Amino acid sequence: MRQNVTFRRMFKSGRFVADALGDLRDSQVQPNGVDLTLGAVYEQVEPGRIERGGKTVGERRECDDDDGVYRLDRGGYIVEYADRVAIPEGHVGFLLPRSSLLRNSCMLDTAVWDAGYEGRGEGLLEVHHPIELEAGARIAQLVLAEAAHEGTYEGSYQGENL
């Protein structure tokens, strides 16, 4: 029974997440997290490089949008979220795709967001069947879990896209 109680308290409510992030529409607040919206879509046009001692992100260009709608063919794209994220101390952020993406043959690959991260993050959108995405559409859900850690995020992506 004790393990069940611990698990229930591990993840925070959507209201807690919304209060940590701030400027959101009410429709973005869900019972267990907050929906992040689409800011922009990019196609990577030059190779990147990941080394033991550093990294280089490949050059990108923004995909064409028609009146704020991105018409995407099959392939991989970088999405930038429109919403500013701030992961509070004592927590870790997990970003999951909204089921609407999955039901339309798309997948959003994301990474862990460490305590102290602040910025407008990015994810990898895998499009397996052509889709139209409107800027400002809800595409992912951020959940926060309590986490024991030492220090906070101070990496090169701190403050990205702000």
pLDDT digits (tens, 9 = 90+) for 55-64: 999 999 999 9
Residue 134 lies in a domain: yes
Residue 9: is its pLDDT beyond 80?
no
Range of the domain at 70: 8-46+58-146
Question: b vs e for 45-61, b when ≥16 Cβ sit within 10 Å of the residue's Cβ?
Answer: eeeeeeeeeeeeeeebe
- pTM, two decimal places: 0.87
Query: Is position 67 within any domain?
Result: yes
Domain at 28, CATH number: 2.70.40.10
**Tally of structural domains, the chain:** 1
- Evaluate whether residue 158 is within a structural domain: no
Q: Which residue has the tokens 């529409």?
A: 25
- Please say whether the dihedral angle defined by the alpha carbons of residues 161, 96, 115 and 49, taken in this order, is positive or negative: negative
- Is 91 contained in some domain? yes
Could you report the per-residue pLDDT of 86-109, keeping only the tens digit for each? 999 999 999 999 999 999 999 999
Flag whether 161 is in a domain.
no
124 residue type, one letter: L
Residue 108's beta-bridge partner residues?
Answer: 125
Q: Is 73 contained in some domain?
A: yes
- Ramachandran quadrant class, 67 (left: phi over 0; alpha: psi -120 to 50; beta: rest): left
Q: Is residue 19 in some structural domain? A: yes
Task: Give the whole-angstrom CA distance, residue 16 versus residue 144.
Answer: 9
> Does residue 52 form part of some domain?
no
95 vs 87: CA distance, rounded Å: 12
Comparing C-alpha atoms, which of 124, 37, 112, 120 is closest to residue 86? 120
Confidence tier at 3 by pLDDT (50, 70, 90): low
